[in-house]
Amino acid sequence: MHVITSLLSLIMENENNTNQERHTLADAVAYLKENPSAPARILVSTVTHLVPGEGFFERTRFIRNLVTQYHWNRDFKTGEDRFEAYNAVFAFANRPCYFLIDHGQSHDGDIPILWYQWTGDKLYEIPYTITYYLL
């Protein structure tokens, strides 16, 4: 199953699980800013026509750099960061698409997942985080 599809399924499962400990997005963002080497997984949802640029490479580079500049005040670094795009067929307007950025390596399998929405003007935090445990 595709990584982003799996992640969206995991988010829906966790929304229905009231017994699970929840972490606030503000706590996770503050932690990542204080600990730039800490591993994180960041999901960005938007629609295709809101991502500026010409072509797939330029548009995905915009999203990669937008997120890494927001969290780590730097551009995306291949090798240090990893990127995945889902449904990013920019030839079609108004098509929901998702971008996933993984940062760092986890030694204990506990990775915070932050969720944002790009509106074409601003990156909005979705006030919900989950913790992903690697098996």
Residue 81 lies in a domain: yes
In a domain? residue 95: yes
Q: How many C-alpha atoms does 116 have within 13 Å on its Cβ side?
A: 25
For residue 34, tell me if it sits in a domain.
no
Question: What's the structural domain count of the chain?
Answer: 1
Tokens at 35, concatenated = 């600990």
What does pTM read for this prediction? Answer: 0.73
pLDDT at 28: 67
Domain hosting residue 60, numbered range? 50-135
The DSSP line for 57-77 is HHHHHHHHHHHHHHHHSS---
Q: Which of the residue ranges 5-9, 72-76, 124-128 has the most confident prediction, judged by mean pLDDT?
A: 72-76
What share of the chain has pLDDT > 70, as a percent? 67
Does residue 56 lie within any of the structural domains?
yes
- Asked if residue 39 belongs to a domain, the reply is no
pLDDT per residue over 40-72, tens digit each? Answer: 889 999 999 999 999 999 999 999 999 999 888
